[in-house]
Amino acid sequence: MKILLTAFEPFGGERVNSACLALELLPERLGDIELARTVLPTAFDLSGEVLLRAMDRERPDAVLCLGQAAGRRCLTPERVAINLDDARIPDNLGAKPEDRPIVPGGPAAYFSTLPIRKMVRAMAKAGVPAEISNSAGTFVCNHVMYVLLHALDRDKSRVRGGFMHIPLSREQGEGRGIPWVETADAARGIAAAVTAAADRGDEPGTI
């Protein structure tokens, strides 16, 4: 079993990205699960391209994309991605789309095909705060999740896919009045979520 994990480069003036920091702490394997990983550009028009190339290269059995979410207190698997780019701030290439469909004529939304409820329970059992989120926003995180699920749906793939947001790290949030989670705890939560997602005994696993 191979799972592709992705995270984003820093954005919005931050020196680091909490999801990327946590990804760096994960081992190459979790038991029988091989972890492939790649860092995506925080840019609307490039992020999906880099993700799809990584999928072609790695041929994973599942894909879990990770992103940073300032203000959140828990690791939050996302339930749904919507077909909309609408940026509050520019991406790292200066793009700031408004009310733009990700795939013109595409479905309004896609649900995650990862077992997000089981992932949350596994993270909670590991002592990591976690809950399901019903909004991935309208920035690059949502864009990547939609591109991923659109590609899997278009190809009628049995590969599972989804997205999970990570709170800020201690170095980002401490002293700023913003919730944060220790990077080691975030990594432990991701590992628990990945292990839960690797169990395909509950197909199709959308919730």
Q: What is the CATH number of the domain that holds 100?
A: 3.40.630.20
The catalytically annotated residue of 20, 74, 141, 150 is 141
Confirm whether 160 is domain-assigned: yes
Per the domain annotation, does 161 fall within a domain? yes
Which residue among the candidates 20, 65, 78, 150 is catalytic per the annotation? 78
**Whether 65 is catalytic:** no
Contact between residue 77 and residue 116 where contact means Cβ atoms under 8 Å apart: yes
Residue 32 within any structural domain of the chain:
yes
Active site residue 14: no
Percent above pLDDT 90 for the chain: 93
- Residue at 55 is within a domain: yes
Domain range for 60 is 2-198
**What are the C-alpha distances in Å from 134 to residues 26, 31, 48, 77, 111?**
26, 31, 21, 9, 10
pLDDT at 175: 85
- Mean pLDDT, residues 151-156 taken together: 96
If one counts the domains in the chain, the total is 1
* Residue whose structure tokens are 């480069």: 9
Whether 204 is in a domain gets the answer: no
The answer to whether residue 148 is domain-embedded is yes
Residue 80 has pLDDT above 90, yes or no: yes
| Domain membership flag for residue 205 | no
| 72 domain-assigned | yes
Catalytic position from the list 20, 143, 150, 165: 165
pTM beyond 0.85: yes
Residue 78 catalytic? yes
